[in-house]
């Protein structure tokens, strides 16, 4: 690879748009598509989505759990999803939300960010709740291999604020610490850093304290767009002038249009146009 993840993502968003498509083969979706909830159904579903969206979307985001539930054969399907999406020109953000003590995080980082690994992808989601320093192996491995890391900051689910808005002994809120850490990691990176934050497209800024500062020099992954209620207007409301660096992420809202590949692809294009209109 020749350029940082942040540079590749910046170019891909400019060229293909700001929608990330989640490839999440829920059992209920396999059923809606008329497929069995088995490895053959998983493979048919996932590769049909890749064929429909990977040639047009800037980023695809397979959620590992939906593949892992079928064991090693499911993970083999995930490997194909990653490889075939990249071959079609999409960046792959593997949603695994890993995070462990540093020595174990190194093994996770090698699994997803070392190009020699069977599951190598462009970027990965991680959880910071073992401490920001525990993420160093992901950061260093990403820097070494031009990969990216997206750290959970303000998640889309309603339970998130109980932990993420909590104030530490130093008076700093947990999510602010995560965003500050990312700001330091991205310092000086142009046009965009490689260290992103996950900020749901459903969040509301706190009424009893200052707004979270969502400009930190890196990309934002904004899941919760679509099926969880987030809209283009929410992206404008939450991110304002930083919306250009926001990847709105939708899984079920696109996937439920299948197995009609044209309908899925058209939906991606239409949403990209709406997001582009935010400026």
Ligand X SMILES: O=C(O)c1cc(=O)[nH]c(=O)n1[C@@H]1O[C@H](COP(=O)(O)O)[C@@H](O)[C@H]1O
Q: Find the shortest distance in angstroms from Cβ 169 to ligand X.
A: 26
Helix runs in 4-134, H state only: 5-16, 27-32, 39-53, 65-68, 71-87, 102-113
CB of 156 to ligand X, least distance (A): 4
147 or 223, CB closer to ligand X?
223
Distance CA 228, CA 198 (A): 15
β-strands 246-250, 59-62 pairing: unpaired
Task: Output the smallest distance, CB 263 to ligand X, in A.
Answer: 16
Output the smallest distance, CB 77 to ligand X, in A.
16
Q: Is residue 158 annotated as a catalytic residue, yes or no?
A: no
Residues that bind ligand X (CB under 6 A): 22, 24, 63, 95, 125, 155-157, 198, 200, 223-224, 226-228, 249-253
For residues 171 and 212, which CB has a smaller minimum distance to ligand X in the complex?
212
CB-nearer residue toward ligand X: 139 or 154: 154
Question: CA–CA separation, 259 vs 248, rounded Å?
Answer: 22
**Catalytic, out of 86, 97, 252, 256:** 97
Residue with Cβ nearer ligand X (2 or 20): 20
The alpha carbon of 138 is separated from its chain's Cα centroid by a whole number of angstroms, namely 15
Q: End-to-end CA distance of the chain, in Å?
A: 30
DSSP 141: H
CA gap 173, 255 in Å, rounded: 36
Which positions are catalytic? 97
């Amino acid at each position: 690879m020749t350029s940082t993840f942040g540079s590749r993502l910046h170019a891909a968003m400019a060229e293909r748009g700001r929608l990330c498509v989640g490839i999440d083969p829920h059992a209920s979706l396999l059923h809606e598509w008329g497929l069995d909830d088995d490895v053959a159904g998983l493979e048919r579903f996932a590769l049909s989505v890749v064929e429909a969206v990977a040639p047009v979307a800037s980023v695809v985001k397979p959620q590992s759990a939906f593949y892992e539930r079928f064991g090693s054969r499911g993970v083999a399907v995930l490997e194909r999803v990653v490889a075939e999406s990249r071959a079609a020109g999409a960046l792959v953000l593997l949603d695994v939300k890993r995070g462990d003590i540093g020595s174990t995080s190194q093994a996770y980082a090698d699994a997803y960010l070392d190009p020699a690994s069977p599951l190598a992808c462009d970027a990965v989601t991680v959880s910071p709740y073992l401490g920001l320093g525990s993420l160093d192996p992901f950061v260093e491995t990403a820097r070494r291999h031009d990969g990216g890391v997206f750290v959970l900051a303000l998640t889309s689910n309603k339970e998130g604020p109980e932990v993420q808005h909590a104030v530490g002994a130093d008076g700093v809120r947990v999510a602010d610490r995560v965003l500050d850490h990312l700001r330091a990691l991205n310092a000086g990176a142009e046009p965009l850093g490689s260290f992103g934050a996950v900020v749901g497209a459903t969040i509301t800024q706190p009424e009893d304290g200052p707004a979270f500062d969502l400009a930190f020099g890196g990309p934002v992954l904004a899941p919760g767009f679509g099926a969880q209620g987030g809209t283009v207007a929410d992206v404008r409301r939450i991110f304002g002038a930083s919306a250009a660096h926001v990847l709105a992420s939708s899984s079920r809202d696109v996937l439920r249009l299948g197995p009609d590949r044209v309908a899925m692809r058209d939906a991606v294009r239409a949403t990209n146009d709406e997001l582009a209109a935010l400026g």
